[in-house]
Amino acid sequence: MRISLNWLRELVEIKLSPEELAETLTMAGFEVEEIEDRRTWANGVVIGKVLERQPHPNADKLSVCQVDIGAGETLNIVCGAANVKADIYVPVATTGTYLPNIDLKIKPAKLRGVPSQGMICSLKELGLPTDVDGIHIFTQENLPLGSDVRPLLGLDDVILDLTATANRADALSMVGVAREVAALTGGKLSIPEPGEVSITKSARNLALKIADTQACPAYIGTVIEQVKIAPSPEWLQQRLRAAGVRPISNVVDITNYVLLEWGQPLHAFDRDRLQSVAGSENLTIGVRFATAGESLKTLDGQTRTLSTQNLLITANDKPVALAGVMGGEETEVHAGTQSLVLEAALFDSVAIRRSSRSVGLRSEASGRYERGVNRAELEIANRRALSLISELASGILVQQEIADTRPDPSTWSRSIALRLDRVNQILGPVDLGEDTGELQGQDVERILTALGCQLTSSEKDTNHQPTWSVSVPPYRYRDLEREIDLIEEIARLYGYNKFCDTLPEKAEAGYLPLDEELIRKLRAFLRAEGLTELIHYSLVKPGEDRNIVLSNPLFVEYSALRTDLISGLIDAFQYNLEQGNGALNGFEIGQIFWQEEDGLQETEALAGIVGGDISVGKWSKSGREEPITWFEAKGILESVFRQLALQVEFQPDRRDDRLHPGRTASLWIRGNRLGIFGQLHPQLRREKGLPDSVYVFQLDLDVLLESQGQDEILVPTFQPYSTYPASDRDIAFFAPVKISVTEIQKVITKAGKDLLESVELFDEYRGENVPEGQRSLAFRLIYRASDRTLTEAEVEPVHNKVREALVEKFGVNLRS
């Protein structure tokens, strides 16, 4: 918002320079983006009177003027404006004047052979907008010649371009900024209090009909007759121009002026045009939401198709304005307007925001309604506008109707408990020069009282520190809601730069938490296995078992939280295939969510998908891709587990119907379920159009990290290699198919005890000469001691014990 210091000085006492005031506001959270010093635009430009005007002897479009600037002798000035004539007062840039807006320094010159000793200026040359094509002519009479033109043109002013944060709706007005400046500087406020306006009860043809009182809690409609539309007085036009608003006419300018002064949007309708649209002299001004397909031509000349999100002002139920956004062209005030209906209303911020967005239209009014207009000062702003219309447009007030469903005024404020102990706990010590200290009770009371709050002392807290009950003023009701908000205000006005900033006394080396370090290692191991890390949204389509559904989703496709990571990886695999990117080998670490009887649950999971050819080059296979086998995919996981020094057990599993019932395993660590690994079910594979061999896994990251956190893994014990040779033994037998190799390996390991170094399956056979329901398995057992070479006498008893354990446990039929 553009703030005129001349205007601001009428509302609050200011003793600071513009630069100091800008610094003070910026430090308090109101960023001043630019200081526009208009005093430099016409420095050296004075009032002159054209005594005589003669045509230029050598140019048809130039004039030679004799101009008196009160300096004893007249100036000879060549002027090219068509509107220059004798006996007019004009702005004159004297020799040596610099005009920054056109980057011109005035020097003595000759124009077509005639000397010129200055320049008669237009408003554009002085940096002011104007519709006049030519020099500026002052309308006032008997102006003092040679005096500074800046006070007459409003150029003795400084403009601060100020940006307020979104929560400070009150700062979008001159009154709001004046209150803030008073609180920051201690300056005295002089806010105008408009008196009561008299209404002549000569008309009774206006009624109000508010269809949605939540969207429009208050509406004031005032009928004004015998209005004389004319240009606004110069002081009003100057203030509007300083704020970046183009003057139009006295009535429209007054509504804009009150908007800038009080932050209350107003709108003036031409009453005769309203009656024409309504088709009757009896007007019913209504507020309702539009029906789909209605249209309205707004003041910017565009016909807008409306939706049910648009809040309308209607005349006998016919749309005449977009409520809180922009008026309609059909009922706008024009040069021939003789009577008005002035609207002053409160609209719901959410309703106006939706309405404004749906038609792609933002205005000064909608921007204020969206942030929230002060409901306590509606009547003040309305009276201010009515008194100005009576004064400047000779309007006579003949009727006023009010529809008010606002809550009781006693609820327009709130009381907040504030503790001095909490203030100092949050803000910390203050810098007192050579020493530090704390905020005192009188500091808190001074600051909050300056903001318009009323403080009532309460009983001291348990630490014998003062506490207060703080009553918030209505114009700060929206952003001062809790104790922490008051603490923020105290810090802001006391000065953020006055609080101590301290560093730790001794710098410490940074380090990663254990879990984060382990996760980084895990990511590195998975990438080393050729897997790419993937990231998906946590939001998915609803419909899964134990889904958590959002109450306010952006889209239906993203209206629930994912219950696992595998589904997203399968979709990503399918998408990459369809895009011609080939099979996807990737992993993802992310949160999953589900519902339990005792509430909502959340955990972090690791999942992956593997289905592409993992070989480096295909030249040795004539370019053919060989799909990865179950054992190769399982080997990727086992390689990661081996690098993490984890002993993970694979057990058959059939619980996930997305996976192949005969090629799925659950993973276990020390009796804790780690996750699942398996091949996609053929039916799902066909539905998705995926290759034959696609494998997925999902692990509980908490279980994995907990297992990694064991001391023997974090600090591994050094074990030297044996320098003595090993003794190999092979063992082959028929075993039932239902017995897994894992179970057999566990029995062999237990029986071999300390001498057995490793067990490896090297052959499996099913078919001819193998009993039905069984398979032939062959294992290689390696025995080794760390301190000697094993003899036959030492190995054979242990090997026989392994054979006996297999026969006893599984009833195998030994072949060797």
Amino acid at the residue 775:
R
**46 assigned to some structural domain:** yes
Q: Is residue 501 part of a domain?
A: no
* Total tally of structural domains belonging to the chain: 6
Report the binding-site residues: 479, 485, 488-489
Label residue 220 exposed, middle or buried (CB < 10 Å: 0-12, 13-18, 19+).
buried
Residues 575 and 621 in one domain: yes
Q: How much is the mean pLDDT over the chain? A: 90
Q: Write the pLDDT tens digit of every residue in 467-488.
A: 999 999 999 888 899 999 999 9
Provide the token pair at 125: 């040359």
Q: What is the CATH number of the domain that holds 528?
A: 3.30.930.10
> Do 163 and 233 belong together in one domain?
no
Amino acid at 804: E
Confidence class for position 513, pLDDT limits 50, 70, 90 = confident
Higher per-residue confidence, 484 vs 511? 484
Residue 672: inside a domain: yes
Same domain, residue pair 695 and 586:
yes
Which residues neighbour 512 within 8 Å (Cβ) at sequence distance 6 or greater? 520
Query: For position 326, which CATH number holds?
Result: 3.50.40.10
Among residues 185, 125, 181, the alpha carbon closest in space to that of 149 is found at 125
- If asked whether residues 373 and 274 sit together in one domain, one would say yes
Among the residues of 49-164, which ranges form H helices?
Answer: 150-153
In the β-sheet with 467-471, what is the strand arrangement from edge to edge?
415-419, 467-471, 454-458
DSSP state of 470: E
Last residue of a domain, one of 467, 495, 523: 495
* Tokens coding 794: 């030492």
Beta bridge partners of 36: 159
What are 292-339's pLDDT values in tens digits? 889 999 999 999 999 999 999 999 999 999 999 999 999 999 999 999
pLDDT at 763: 93
Distance CA(326)–CA(297), nearest Å, equals 10
Q: Does a structural domain hold residue 500?
A: no
- The annotated binding site for Mg(2+) is made up of 479, 485, 488-489
Indicate which CATH number applies to the domain containing 24.
3.30.56.10
Residue listed under structure tokens 């002052």 = 138
What integer pLDDT is reported at residue 622 of this predicted model?
66
Does residue 190 lie within any of the structural domains?
Answer: no
Of 700, 719, 720, the closest CA to residue 564 belongs to 700
Residue 35 lies in a domain: yes
3-state class (DSSP) for residue 646: coil
**Are 435 and 480 within one domain?**
yes
Quote the pTM value. Answer: 0.65
Alpha carbon distance 497, 502 (integer Å): 13
Q: What is the DSSP letter of 329?
A: G
Same domain for 428 and 375 = no
User: What pLDDT sits at residue 617?
Assistant: 60
Same domain, 324 and 452: no
Residues 277 and 395 in one domain: yes
397 shares a domain with 459: no
Are 227 and 260 members of one domain? yes
What distance in Å separates the CA atoms of residue 131 and residue 197, rounded to the nearest whole number?
35
Please report, for the chain, how many H helices and E strands are present, in that order: 21, 42
Report if residue 23 sits inside a domain.
yes
Within a domain: 454:
yes
Question: Rounded mean pLDDT of 164-174?
Answer: 89
Q: 379 and 417: one domain?
A: no
Mind giving me the DSSP string for 695-736? EEEEEEHHHHHHHHTSHHHHSPPP-PPP-S--EEEEEEEEEE
CATH label of the domain that carries residue 130:
2.40.50.140
Among 385, 406, 427, the domain boundary falls at: 406
On the 0-12 / 13-18 / 19+ scale of CB atoms within 10 A, 196 is exposed
Looking up residue 751, the CATH number of its domain turns out to be: 3.30.70.380
pLDDT band at 130 (very low <50, low <70, confident <90, very high): confident
What does the pLDDT look like over 676-693, one tens digit per residue? 999 999 999 999 999 888
- Statement to judge: residues 244 and 328 lie in one domain: yes
343 lies in which domain range? Answer: 206-406
Task: Give pLDDT tens digits for 213-268.
Answer: 999 999 999 999 999 999 999 899 989 989 989 899 999 999 999 999 999 999 99
